[in-house]
């Protein structure tokens, strides 16, 4: 797969995918987007409402640059709670490109090694990346993946957008991921298109539109009751 690194509005990198003709993160600010959509609206929200001190089970679709996973690791470490993080990714980013990404130098320089570990650890096996963060990377196609016995508290839906990969936003595909959520589980995504919101509602989520990061008016958060 052909890639090109670009600098976004907050100084952090994104990657342009030539095949999908889309960037992995917002050009207005990669770190700011991930913090707004996945950490603040997702992880911080769920943790604030958590009644038991048990590891938060997260599923990300897909892993991409590893930014969402790494920021989740940082959040868990800063606040000393545990995460078990599964991530689907069919097209892993080449190692030489990963080594150029500047997220640790901008956000948390002392966690550079953990960022590299996220990309270097083995696929399919659980790996302890930090005392508060375990990771399982799954080399899977989201179109054919099934939840089987996987139950998750929090789902980061970070596929390329409906213009690039419309099939990943179909009701049949989204239904599999909603199925994996436990009661009270949270679904967050940067995509606030009306059809996506209505699809999530048809699948039983209570969906709210939240203020988006720079360059994006709204994002979506759904809760499974």
The alpha-carbon radius of gyration of the chain (Å, integer) is 16
pTM over 0.85: yes
Q: Is 201 helix (H, G, I), strand (E, B) or coil?
A: helix
Per-residue pLDDT band for 33 (boundaries 50, 70, 90) equals: very high
> For 213, how many CA atoms within 13 A lie in the half-sphere containing its CB?
23
Cβ atoms of residues 159 and 170 within 8 Å: no
Q: Domain holding 142: CATH number? A: 3.40.50.150
Is 177 part of a structural domain of the chain?
yes
Our count of domains for the chain comes to: 1
The answer to whether residue 152 is domain-embedded is yes
Is residue 175 included in any domain, yes or no?
A: yes
Phi and psi, residue 138, nearest 5°:
-120, 120
Note whether residue 64 is domain-resident: yes
Is the confidence at residue 187, as pLDDT, over 60? yes
**What's the pLDDT at 2?**
72
What are 49-91's pLDDT values in tens digits?
A: 998 899 999 999 999 999 999 999 999 999 999 999 999 999 9
Q: Which pLDDT score, from 0 to 100, does residue 83 have?
A: 98
The domain of 113 spans: 29-224
Q: Residue 105: inside a domain, yes or no?
A: yes
Query: Would you place residue 20 in the very low, low, confident or very high pLDDT band (cuts 50, 70, 90)?
Result: confident
Q: Is residue 3 part of a domain?
A: no
On whether residue 210 sits in a domain, the answer given is yes
Q: What is the pLDDT of residues 101-156, one digit of tens each?
A: 999 999 999 999 999 999 999 999 999 999 999 999 999 999 999 998 899 999 99
Judge whether 34 lies within some domain.
Answer: yes
């Amino acid at each position: 797969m052909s890639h090109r690194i670009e600098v976004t509005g907050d100084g952090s990198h994104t990657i342009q995918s030539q095949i999908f003709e889309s960037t992995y993160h917002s050009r207005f600010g990669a770190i700011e987007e991930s913090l707004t959509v996945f950490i603040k609206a997702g992880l911080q929200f769920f943790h604030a409402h958590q009644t038991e001190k048990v590891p938060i089970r997260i599923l990300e679709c897909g892993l991409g640059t590893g930014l969402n996973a790494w920021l989740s690791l940082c959040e868990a470490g800063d606040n000393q709670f545990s995460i078990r993080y599964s991530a689907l990714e069919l097209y892993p980013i080449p190692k030489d490109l990963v080594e150029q990404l500047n997220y640790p130098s901008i956000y948390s320089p002392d966690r550079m090694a953990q960022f590299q570990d996220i990309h270097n650890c083995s696929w399919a096996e659980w790996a302890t990346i930090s005392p508060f963060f375990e990771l399982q990377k799954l080399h899977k196609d989201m179109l054919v993946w099934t939840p089987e016995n996987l139950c998750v508290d929090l789902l980061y839906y970070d596929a390329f957008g409906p213009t690039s990969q419309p099939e990943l936003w179909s009701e049949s595909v989204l239904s599999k991921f909603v199925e994996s959520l436990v009661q009270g589980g949270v679904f967050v995504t940067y995509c606030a298109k009306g059809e996506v919101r209505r699809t999530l509602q048809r699948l039983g989520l209570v969906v709210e539109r939240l203020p988006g990061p720079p360059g994006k008016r709204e994002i979506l958060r759904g809760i499974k009751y």
